[in-house]
Amino acid sequence: MISLAIALVALALLYYYSIKSFKYWESKGIKHDKPIPLFGTNLRNFMVKKSMTELAAEAYWKYPNEKAVGFYRAVRPELVVRDPEIIKRILITDFLHYYPRGLNSQRKVFEPMMRNLFFADGDMWRLLRQRLTPAFTSGKLKAMFPLIVERAEKLQARALSAASANRTIDARDLMARYTTDFIGACGFGLDADSLNEEDSAFRRLGTKIFKPNFKDILVLLMKSAFPSIGRHFNILQRIEYDMLHLTKQILEQRNYEPAGKNDFVDLLLECRKKGLIVGESIERRKPDGTPDTATLELDDIIMAAQIFVFFAAGFETSSSATSFTLHQLAHNPEVQKKVQEEIDRVLAKYNNKLSYDAVKEMTYLDWTFREGMRMFPSLGFLMRECVRTTPVPELNTTLDRGVRIFIPIQALQNDPQYFEKPNEFRPERFSPEEFSKINKYAYLPFGTGPRACIGERLGLMQSLAGLAAILSRFTVEPAPETKRYPEVEPASGIVQNVKGGLPLLFKERKVT
Protein backbone atom coordinates (compact mmCIF):
# COMPACT_ATOMS: atom_id res chain seq x y z
CA MET A 1 0.00 0.00 0.00
CA ILE A 2 2.83 2.39 0.83
CA SER A 3 4.48 1.71 -2.54
CA LEU A 4 1.17 2.35 -4.31
CA ALA A 5 0.70 5.60 -2.40
CA ILE A 6 4.22 6.75 -3.31
CA ALA A 7 3.60 5.88 -6.97
CA LEU A 8 0.31 7.82 -6.99
CA VAL A 9 1.95 10.84 -5.37
CA ALA A 10 4.80 10.67 -7.91
CA LEU A 11 2.31 10.51 -10.79
CA ALA A 12 0.33 13.41 -9.35
CA LEU A 13 3.50 15.49 -9.03
CA LEU A 14 4.55 14.59 -12.57
CA TYR A 15 1.11 15.55 -13.85
CA TYR A 16 1.21 18.86 -12.01
CA TYR A 17 4.72 19.57 -13.30
CA SER A 18 3.66 18.74 -16.86
CA ILE A 19 0.77 21.23 -16.88
CA LYS A 20 1.95 24.01 -14.55
CA SER A 21 3.02 26.30 -17.41
CA PHE A 22 -0.07 25.68 -19.59
CA LYS A 23 -1.81 28.92 -18.57
CA TYR A 24 1.09 31.04 -19.78
CA TRP A 25 -0.24 32.03 -23.20
CA GLU A 26 -3.79 32.37 -21.93
CA SER A 27 -2.53 34.88 -19.34
CA LYS A 28 -0.78 36.80 -22.12
CA GLY A 29 -3.86 36.91 -24.35
CA ILE A 30 -2.12 34.84 -27.06
CA LYS A 31 -4.20 32.27 -28.95
CA HIS A 32 -2.96 28.68 -29.04
CA ASP A 33 -4.02 25.06 -29.36
CA LYS A 34 -4.91 23.15 -26.22
CA PRO A 35 -1.74 21.49 -24.85
CA ILE A 36 -1.44 17.83 -23.80
CA PRO A 37 0.14 16.98 -20.42
CA LEU A 38 3.91 16.37 -20.71
CA PHE A 39 3.94 16.89 -24.51
CA GLY A 40 2.37 20.34 -24.82
CA THR A 41 1.36 21.00 -28.44
CA ASN A 42 4.42 19.21 -29.77
CA LEU A 43 3.30 15.56 -29.55
CA ARG A 44 3.51 14.87 -33.31
CA ASN A 45 7.05 16.18 -33.45
CA PHE A 46 8.11 13.97 -30.53
CA MET A 47 6.41 11.02 -32.28
CA VAL A 48 8.28 11.88 -35.55
CA LYS A 49 4.99 12.43 -37.37
CA LYS A 50 5.60 16.07 -38.24
CA SER A 51 8.77 18.16 -38.45
CA MET A 52 9.06 21.33 -36.37
CA THR A 53 8.91 23.33 -39.60
CA GLU A 54 5.55 21.71 -40.43
CA LEU A 55 4.13 22.34 -36.95
CA ALA A 56 5.22 25.99 -37.01
CA ALA A 57 3.64 26.37 -40.45
CA GLU A 58 0.41 24.75 -39.23
CA ALA A 59 0.20 27.26 -36.37
CA TYR A 60 0.90 30.06 -38.84
CA TRP A 61 -1.95 29.10 -41.19
CA LYS A 62 -4.43 28.10 -38.48
CA TYR A 63 -4.52 31.59 -36.93
CA PRO A 64 -4.40 33.95 -39.96
CA ASN A 65 -5.63 37.00 -38.03
CA GLU A 66 -3.06 36.77 -35.24
CA LYS A 67 0.34 38.44 -35.11
CA ALA A 68 1.71 35.53 -33.08
CA VAL A 69 0.56 32.09 -31.91
CA GLY A 70 1.36 30.30 -28.66
CA PHE A 71 3.01 26.89 -28.67
CA TYR A 72 4.20 24.47 -25.97
CA ARG A 73 7.23 22.23 -26.50
CA ALA A 74 6.55 19.80 -23.65
CA VAL A 75 6.22 22.19 -20.67
CA ARG A 76 8.06 25.11 -22.25
CA PRO A 77 6.11 28.05 -23.72
CA GLU A 78 7.22 29.14 -27.20
CA LEU A 79 5.89 31.75 -29.61
CA VAL A 80 5.36 31.37 -33.36
CA VAL A 81 5.63 34.89 -34.80
CA ARG A 82 3.56 35.77 -37.88
CA ASP A 83 4.13 39.52 -38.14
CA PRO A 84 7.18 40.89 -40.02
CA GLU A 85 7.41 43.92 -37.72
CA ILE A 86 7.77 41.67 -34.67
CA ILE A 87 10.32 39.61 -36.59
CA LYS A 88 12.32 42.78 -37.23
CA ARG A 89 12.10 43.62 -33.53
CA ILE A 90 13.40 40.19 -32.48
CA LEU A 91 16.19 39.83 -35.04
CA ILE A 92 17.41 43.44 -35.15
CA THR A 93 15.77 46.20 -33.07
CA ASP A 94 15.75 44.35 -29.74
CA PHE A 95 18.48 41.87 -30.64
CA LEU A 96 20.19 42.17 -27.25
CA HIS A 97 17.01 40.80 -25.67
CA TYR A 98 16.87 37.83 -28.05
CA TYR A 99 20.45 36.97 -28.98
CA PRO A 100 20.44 33.24 -28.05
CA ARG A 101 19.07 30.54 -30.32
CA GLY A 102 18.03 28.75 -27.16
CA LEU A 103 19.61 25.42 -28.08
CA ASN A 104 22.08 25.61 -25.19
CA SER A 105 22.25 26.83 -21.64
CA GLN A 106 23.35 30.47 -21.91
CA ARG A 107 26.05 30.27 -19.27
CA LYS A 108 27.50 26.85 -19.90
CA VAL A 109 27.51 24.60 -22.94
CA PHE A 110 27.52 20.98 -21.81
CA GLU A 111 27.80 19.27 -25.20
CA PRO A 112 31.25 19.63 -26.82
CA MET A 113 30.01 19.76 -30.44
CA MET A 114 27.49 22.48 -29.51
CA ARG A 115 30.34 24.91 -28.79
CA ASN A 116 30.21 26.28 -32.31
CA LEU A 117 29.17 29.49 -34.01
CA PHE A 118 25.66 28.24 -34.89
CA PHE A 119 24.63 26.66 -31.59
CA ALA A 120 26.60 28.73 -29.06
CA ASP A 121 25.00 31.70 -27.33
CA GLY A 122 26.13 34.72 -25.39
CA ASP A 123 29.80 35.53 -25.09
CA MET A 124 30.98 32.32 -26.75
CA TRP A 125 28.91 33.16 -29.85
CA ARG A 126 29.99 36.80 -29.96
CA LEU A 127 33.71 36.04 -29.59
CA LEU A 128 33.63 33.24 -32.16
CA ARG A 129 31.76 35.47 -34.62
CA GLN A 130 34.29 38.25 -34.05
CA ARG A 131 37.26 35.99 -34.80
CA LEU A 132 35.75 33.91 -37.65
CA THR A 133 34.16 36.65 -39.75
CA PRO A 134 37.40 37.28 -41.75
CA ALA A 135 37.12 33.73 -43.15
CA PHE A 136 34.34 34.73 -45.50
CA THR A 137 35.67 37.80 -47.31
CA SER A 138 35.27 38.05 -51.09
CA GLY A 139 39.01 37.59 -51.57
CA LYS A 140 39.08 34.33 -49.64
CA LEU A 141 36.02 33.04 -51.50
CA LYS A 142 37.56 33.84 -54.86
CA ALA A 143 40.74 31.99 -53.85
CA MET A 144 38.66 28.90 -53.12
CA PHE A 145 36.96 28.83 -56.52
CA PRO A 146 39.47 26.57 -58.33
CA LEU A 147 38.62 23.89 -55.77
CA ILE A 148 34.94 24.34 -56.63
CA VAL A 149 35.65 23.94 -60.35
CA GLU A 150 37.39 20.60 -59.75
CA ARG A 151 34.36 19.31 -57.83
CA ALA A 152 31.96 20.69 -60.44
CA GLU A 153 33.74 18.69 -63.15
CA LYS A 154 33.38 15.51 -61.08
CA LEU A 155 29.73 16.38 -60.58
CA GLN A 156 29.26 16.55 -64.35
CA ALA A 157 31.01 13.20 -64.81
CA ARG A 158 28.74 11.45 -62.31
CA ALA A 159 25.62 12.93 -63.90
CA LEU A 160 26.90 11.94 -67.37
CA SER A 161 27.21 8.32 -66.28
CA ALA A 162 23.55 8.28 -65.23
CA ALA A 163 22.41 10.18 -68.34
CA SER A 164 24.21 7.79 -70.70
CA ALA A 165 22.43 4.84 -69.11
CA ASN A 166 19.10 6.71 -69.05
CA ARG A 167 19.12 6.00 -65.34
CA THR A 168 17.17 7.96 -62.74
CA ILE A 169 19.41 9.76 -60.29
CA ASP A 170 18.47 11.18 -56.89
CA ALA A 171 19.27 14.87 -57.26
CA ARG A 172 19.34 15.18 -53.47
CA ASP A 173 22.06 12.53 -53.16
CA LEU A 174 23.98 13.87 -56.17
CA MET A 175 24.15 17.42 -54.84
CA ALA A 176 24.94 16.16 -51.32
CA ARG A 177 27.98 14.36 -52.73
CA TYR A 178 29.05 17.52 -54.54
CA THR A 179 28.72 19.69 -51.42
CA THR A 180 30.46 17.04 -49.30
CA ASP A 181 33.43 17.07 -51.68
CA PHE A 182 33.43 20.86 -51.68
CA ILE A 183 33.42 21.04 -47.88
CA GLY A 184 36.19 18.42 -47.72
CA ALA A 185 38.39 20.48 -50.04
CA CYS A 186 37.59 24.06 -48.97
CA GLY A 187 37.08 23.23 -45.33
CA PHE A 188 39.76 20.69 -44.59
CA GLY A 189 42.06 20.45 -47.61
CA LEU A 190 40.97 16.83 -48.13
CA ASP A 191 39.79 14.98 -51.23
CA ALA A 192 36.63 13.31 -49.94
CA ASP A 193 35.80 11.94 -53.44
CA SER A 194 32.17 11.35 -52.54
CA LEU A 195 31.22 11.79 -56.21
CA ASN A 196 33.24 8.75 -57.26
CA GLU A 197 33.27 6.58 -54.16
CA GLU A 198 29.81 5.20 -53.38
CA ASP A 199 30.52 4.62 -49.69
CA SER A 200 32.79 7.58 -49.01
CA ALA A 201 33.64 8.08 -45.31
CA PHE A 202 32.77 11.77 -45.60
CA ARG A 203 29.40 10.93 -47.16
CA ARG A 204 28.66 8.46 -44.35
CA LEU A 205 29.53 11.11 -41.78
CA GLY A 206 27.23 13.66 -43.43
CA THR A 207 24.37 11.17 -43.50
CA LYS A 208 24.98 10.18 -39.89
CA ILE A 209 24.76 13.77 -38.66
CA PHE A 210 21.28 14.30 -40.07
CA LYS A 211 19.72 10.91 -39.31
CA PRO A 212 18.46 10.96 -35.72
CA ASN A 213 17.88 7.63 -34.02
CA PHE A 214 15.39 6.60 -31.33
CA LYS A 215 17.79 7.54 -28.55
CA ASP A 216 18.12 11.06 -29.99
CA ILE A 217 14.33 11.48 -29.91
CA LEU A 218 14.20 10.39 -26.24
CA VAL A 219 17.01 12.80 -25.36
CA LEU A 220 15.17 15.60 -27.16
CA LEU A 221 12.01 14.86 -25.16
CA MET A 222 14.04 14.81 -21.94
CA LYS A 223 15.65 18.14 -22.76
CA SER A 224 12.24 19.69 -23.49
CA ALA A 225 10.29 18.23 -20.56
CA PHE A 226 13.03 18.32 -17.91
CA PRO A 227 15.59 20.98 -18.96
CA SER A 228 17.64 20.90 -15.75
CA ILE A 229 18.17 17.15 -16.16
CA GLY A 230 18.12 16.95 -19.95
CA ARG A 231 20.98 19.41 -20.38
CA HIS A 232 23.36 16.71 -19.12
CA PHE A 233 22.40 14.37 -22.00
CA ASN A 234 24.43 14.70 -25.19
CA ILE A 235 22.29 14.58 -28.33
CA LEU A 236 25.37 14.76 -30.58
CA GLN A 237 27.29 12.01 -28.81
CA ARG A 238 26.88 9.61 -31.77
CA ILE A 239 29.05 11.84 -33.99
CA GLU A 240 31.27 13.37 -31.31
CA TYR A 241 34.03 10.73 -31.54
CA ASP A 242 34.11 10.94 -35.36
CA MET A 243 34.51 14.73 -35.34
CA LEU A 244 37.13 14.80 -32.57
CA HIS A 245 39.08 12.03 -34.32
CA LEU A 246 38.87 13.80 -37.71
CA THR A 247 40.00 17.09 -36.17
CA LYS A 248 42.91 15.48 -34.35
CA GLN A 249 44.09 13.77 -37.56
CA ILE A 250 44.00 16.99 -39.59
CA LEU A 251 45.68 19.11 -36.92
CA GLU A 252 48.44 16.53 -36.35
CA GLN A 253 49.09 16.28 -40.11
CA ARG A 254 49.70 20.04 -40.10
CA ASN A 255 51.70 20.00 -36.86
CA TYR A 256 49.13 22.46 -35.48
CA GLU A 257 50.40 25.11 -37.90
CA PRO A 258 48.69 26.75 -40.94
CA ALA A 259 49.64 24.78 -44.06
CA GLY A 260 49.10 27.52 -46.64
CA LYS A 261 45.98 25.83 -48.04
CA ASN A 262 43.72 28.82 -47.31
CA ASP A 263 41.01 26.48 -46.05
CA PHE A 264 38.86 26.58 -42.93
CA VAL A 265 41.33 24.57 -40.82
CA ASP A 266 44.12 27.00 -41.73
CA LEU A 267 41.88 29.85 -40.63
CA LEU A 268 41.21 28.18 -37.28
CA LEU A 269 44.92 27.60 -36.75
CA GLU A 270 45.63 31.24 -37.62
CA CYS A 271 42.92 32.29 -35.16
CA ARG A 272 44.50 30.19 -32.42
CA LYS A 273 47.95 31.68 -33.08
CA LYS A 274 46.49 35.12 -32.37
CA GLY A 275 45.95 33.96 -28.80
CA LEU A 276 43.06 34.57 -26.46
CA ILE A 277 39.94 36.08 -28.02
CA VAL A 278 38.97 39.20 -26.06
CA GLY A 279 35.87 41.31 -26.50
CA GLU A 280 32.91 43.02 -24.85
CA SER A 281 30.55 40.73 -22.98
CA ILE A 282 26.99 40.47 -24.26
CA GLU A 283 25.92 38.72 -21.03
CA ARG A 284 27.54 40.68 -18.21
CA ARG A 285 27.85 44.34 -17.28
CA LYS A 286 30.01 46.20 -14.78
CA PRO A 287 28.44 48.17 -11.90
CA ASP A 288 28.64 51.34 -14.02
CA GLY A 289 26.54 49.71 -16.76
CA THR A 290 29.32 49.26 -19.32
CA PRO A 291 29.95 45.79 -20.82
CA ASP A 292 32.27 43.52 -18.90
CA THR A 293 35.22 41.88 -20.68
CA ALA A 294 34.79 38.36 -22.09
CA THR A 295 37.53 35.97 -23.18
CA LEU A 296 37.66 32.66 -25.03
CA GLU A 297 40.48 30.25 -25.78
CA LEU A 298 40.32 28.22 -29.01
CA ASP A 299 41.10 24.81 -27.55
CA ASP A 300 40.92 21.55 -29.52
CA ILE A 301 37.29 20.89 -28.59
CA ILE A 302 36.12 24.33 -29.69
CA MET A 303 38.07 23.94 -32.94
CA ALA A 304 36.45 20.52 -33.49
CA ALA A 305 33.03 22.08 -32.86
CA GLN A 306 33.66 24.73 -35.56
CA ILE A 307 34.80 22.03 -38.00
CA PHE A 308 31.63 20.07 -37.20
CA VAL A 309 29.29 22.97 -37.91
CA PHE A 310 31.23 24.04 -41.04
CA PHE A 311 30.83 20.52 -42.37
CA ALA A 312 27.21 20.06 -41.27
CA ALA A 313 25.96 23.46 -42.44
CA GLY A 314 27.72 23.37 -45.78
CA PHE A 315 26.78 19.76 -46.49
CA GLU A 316 23.07 19.83 -45.73
CA THR A 317 21.79 23.31 -46.50
CA SER A 318 23.31 23.74 -49.96
CA SER A 319 22.45 20.24 -51.14
CA SER A 320 18.85 20.65 -49.98
CA ALA A 321 18.46 24.00 -51.75
CA THR A 322 20.19 23.07 -55.03
CA SER A 323 18.37 19.75 -55.43
CA PHE A 324 14.97 21.36 -54.82
CA THR A 325 15.82 24.04 -57.40
CA LEU A 326 16.63 21.29 -59.93
CA HIS A 327 13.32 19.62 -59.05
CA GLN A 328 11.44 22.83 -59.81
CA LEU A 329 13.34 23.37 -63.06
CA ALA A 330 12.43 19.85 -64.17
CA HIS A 331 8.77 20.81 -63.79
CA ASN A 332 9.21 24.29 -65.31
CA PRO A 333 11.04 23.67 -68.62
CA GLU A 334 10.48 27.23 -69.87
CA VAL A 335 12.36 28.61 -66.85
CA GLN A 336 15.07 25.98 -67.26
CA LYS A 337 15.56 27.03 -70.88
CA LYS A 338 16.05 30.68 -69.87
CA VAL A 339 18.58 29.65 -67.22
CA GLN A 340 20.51 27.53 -69.73
CA GLU A 341 20.53 30.30 -72.33
CA GLU A 342 22.09 32.65 -69.78
CA ILE A 343 24.66 30.05 -68.68
CA ASP A 344 25.62 29.35 -72.30
CA ARG A 345 25.93 33.05 -73.08
CA VAL A 346 28.09 33.82 -70.04
CA LEU A 347 30.33 30.75 -70.38
CA ALA A 348 30.99 31.64 -74.03
CA LYS A 349 32.69 34.81 -72.74
CA TYR A 350 34.97 32.70 -70.52
CA ASN A 351 36.09 30.01 -72.98
CA ASN A 352 33.30 27.73 -71.71
CA LYS A 353 35.04 27.42 -68.33
CA LEU A 354 33.42 27.98 -64.98
CA SER A 355 35.04 30.78 -63.03
CA TYR A 356 34.25 33.03 -60.09
CA ASP A 357 33.58 36.01 -62.38
CA ALA A 358 31.42 33.93 -64.75
CA VAL A 359 29.16 32.73 -61.94
CA LYS A 360 28.85 36.30 -60.64
CA GLU A 361 27.42 37.29 -64.05
CA MET A 362 24.70 34.61 -64.01
CA THR A 363 21.97 36.89 -62.72
CA TYR A 364 18.95 34.85 -63.81
CA LEU A 365 20.47 31.70 -62.32
CA ASP A 366 20.85 33.60 -59.04
CA TRP A 367 17.17 34.64 -59.15
CA THR A 368 16.19 31.06 -59.90
CA PHE A 369 18.12 29.68 -56.94
CA ARG A 370 16.64 32.31 -54.64
CA GLU A 371 13.17 31.33 -55.84
CA GLY A 372 13.95 27.70 -55.02
CA MET A 373 15.03 28.76 -51.54
CA ARG A 374 11.83 30.78 -51.18
CA MET A 375 9.61 27.79 -51.89
CA PHE A 376 11.63 25.33 -49.80
CA PRO A 377 14.16 27.05 -47.52
CA SER A 378 16.81 24.75 -46.08
CA LEU A 379 16.13 26.19 -42.65
CA GLY A 380 12.36 26.05 -42.31
CA PHE A 381 12.41 28.25 -39.20
CA LEU A 382 14.64 30.51 -37.12
CA MET A 383 14.72 30.26 -33.35
CA ARG A 384 15.59 32.80 -30.66
CA GLU A 385 15.23 32.95 -26.87
CA CYS A 386 14.18 35.86 -24.69
CA VAL A 387 16.90 36.64 -22.09
CA ARG A 388 14.99 39.13 -19.94
CA THR A 389 11.40 40.33 -19.50
CA THR A 390 10.76 42.34 -22.65
CA PRO A 391 7.71 44.28 -23.87
CA VAL A 392 6.32 43.49 -27.32
CA PRO A 393 4.15 46.51 -28.20
CA GLU A 394 2.62 44.83 -31.27
CA LEU A 395 1.16 42.14 -28.98
CA ASN A 396 0.34 44.43 -26.03
CA THR A 397 2.18 42.07 -23.72
CA THR A 398 5.61 41.14 -22.41
CA LEU A 399 7.67 38.00 -22.91
CA ASP A 400 9.54 36.48 -20.00
CA ARG A 401 13.05 35.11 -19.78
CA GLY A 402 13.36 31.63 -21.26
CA VAL A 403 10.51 31.94 -23.77
CA ARG A 404 11.65 30.75 -27.19
CA ILE A 405 10.50 32.41 -30.41
CA PHE A 406 9.97 30.60 -33.70
CA ILE A 407 10.06 32.51 -36.97
CA PRO A 408 8.33 30.20 -39.49
CA ILE A 409 10.33 30.92 -42.65
CA GLN A 410 8.63 28.19 -44.70
CA ALA A 411 5.18 29.65 -44.05
CA LEU A 412 6.19 33.31 -44.45
CA GLN A 413 7.89 32.70 -47.80
CA ASN A 414 4.83 30.94 -49.16
CA ASP A 415 2.24 33.43 -47.93
CA PRO A 416 0.31 35.15 -50.79
CA GLN A 417 0.16 38.42 -48.85
CA TYR A 418 3.93 38.71 -49.36
CA PHE A 419 4.47 36.70 -52.56
CA GLU A 420 1.86 36.77 -55.29
CA LYS A 421 0.89 33.26 -56.45
CA PRO A 422 3.44 31.62 -54.12
CA ASN A 423 2.98 28.15 -55.66
CA GLU A 424 4.22 29.47 -58.99
CA PHE A 425 7.94 29.04 -59.64
CA ARG A 426 8.81 32.49 -60.99
CA PRO A 427 12.43 33.70 -60.62
CA GLU A 428 11.50 37.17 -61.94
CA ARG A 429 10.11 38.05 -58.53
CA PHE A 430 13.76 38.44 -57.49
CA SER A 431 14.55 41.06 -60.10
CA PRO A 432 15.56 44.35 -58.42
CA GLU A 433 12.31 46.02 -59.52
CA GLU A 434 10.05 43.36 -57.98
CA PHE A 435 12.13 42.36 -54.97
CA SER A 436 12.36 45.96 -53.76
CA LYS A 437 8.59 45.82 -53.13
CA ILE A 438 8.76 42.65 -51.01
CA ASN A 439 8.86 42.91 -47.22
CA LYS A 440 12.43 41.86 -46.48
CA TYR A 441 11.41 40.32 -43.16
CA ALA A 442 9.21 37.85 -45.02
CA TYR A 443 12.17 36.41 -46.98
CA LEU A 444 14.82 35.04 -44.64
CA PRO A 445 16.56 31.95 -46.06
CA PHE A 446 19.85 33.09 -44.49
CA GLY A 447 18.34 34.96 -41.55
CA THR A 448 19.16 38.62 -40.95
CA GLY A 449 20.72 40.82 -38.29
CA PRO A 450 23.79 40.07 -36.14
CA ARG A 451 23.13 36.30 -36.25
CA ALA A 452 22.57 36.08 -40.00
CA CYS A 453 24.37 33.16 -41.66
CA ILE A 454 28.09 33.95 -41.74
CA GLY A 455 28.55 31.60 -44.71
CA GLU A 456 25.83 33.08 -46.95
CA ARG A 457 28.18 34.15 -49.75
CA LEU A 458 30.09 30.87 -49.60
CA GLY A 459 26.85 28.88 -49.74
CA LEU A 460 25.58 30.90 -52.69
CA MET A 461 28.86 30.54 -54.56
CA GLN A 462 29.11 26.75 -54.25
CA SER A 463 25.40 26.30 -54.99
CA LEU A 464 25.35 28.49 -58.10
CA ALA A 465 28.54 26.84 -59.39
CA GLY A 466 27.02 23.38 -58.91
CA LEU A 467 23.80 24.36 -60.68
CA ALA A 468 25.74 25.99 -63.53
CA ALA A 469 27.85 22.84 -63.92
CA ILE A 470 24.76 20.64 -64.21
CA LEU A 471 22.60 22.91 -66.37
CA SER A 472 25.41 23.74 -68.81
CA ARG A 473 25.64 20.03 -69.72
CA PHE A 474 22.23 18.57 -68.91
CA THR A 475 18.52 19.18 -69.02
CA VAL A 476 16.68 17.80 -66.00
CA GLU A 477 13.28 16.15 -66.39
CA PRO A 478 10.86 14.39 -64.04
CA ALA A 479 11.44 10.64 -63.75
CA PRO A 480 8.51 8.18 -63.72
CA GLU A 481 8.75 7.94 -59.92
CA THR A 482 9.13 11.71 -59.32
CA LYS A 483 6.53 13.24 -57.02
CA ARG A 484 5.44 16.68 -58.16
CA TYR A 485 5.05 17.82 -54.56
CA PRO A 486 7.57 15.95 -52.39
CA GLU A 487 6.73 15.21 -48.77
CA VAL A 488 8.79 16.71 -45.98
CA GLU A 489 10.80 14.20 -43.98
CA PRO A 490 9.13 14.29 -40.52
CA ALA A 491 12.44 13.50 -38.81
CA SER A 492 13.93 16.73 -40.20
CA GLY A 493 15.41 18.97 -37.54
CA ILE A 494 16.64 22.52 -38.02
CA VAL A 495 17.47 21.72 -41.67
CA GLN A 496 14.45 20.33 -43.47
CA ASN A 497 14.67 17.54 -46.01
CA VAL A 498 12.32 15.74 -48.39
CA LYS A 499 11.15 12.18 -47.88
CA GLY A 500 12.52 9.63 -50.33
CA GLY A 501 14.88 11.98 -52.17
CA LEU A 502 14.30 13.85 -55.45
CA PRO A 503 14.59 11.41 -58.38
CA LEU A 504 15.17 13.09 -61.77
CA LEU A 505 16.33 12.21 -65.27
CA PHE A 506 19.42 13.99 -66.59
CA LYS A 507 19.46 14.37 -70.39
CA GLU A 508 22.76 15.36 -71.97
CA ARG A 509 22.57 18.62 -73.91
CA LYS A 510 24.10 19.13 -77.34
CA VAL A 511 25.48 22.63 -76.99
CA THR A 512 27.07 24.03 -80.14
Known binding-site residue numbers: 453
Of residues 65, 283, 311, the one with CA closest to residue 194: 311
Which H/E stretch holds residue 205? helix 201-209
Which positions make up the binding site for heme?
Answer: 453
Tallying the residues shown for the chain, one arrives at: 512
Half-sphere exposure (Cβ direction) of 208: Cα atoms closer than 13 Å:
18
First to last CA, the chain: 88
DSSP state of 115: -
**Any residues with CB less than 8 A from the CB of 119 and at least 6 apart, and which?**
101, 103, 104, 109, 309
Amino acid at residue number 381: F
Whole-angstrom distance, CA of residue 111 vs CA of residue 449: 26
Cross-strand partners of 503 = 170
For residues 346 and 358, is the Cβ–Cβ distance under 8 A? yes
Amino acid at residue number 198: E
Q: Report CA Rg, the chain.
A: 24
Cα-Cα-Cα-Cα torsion 122, 125, 126, 127, nearest 10 degrees, comes to: 120
CB 52: neighbour CB atoms within 10 A? 22
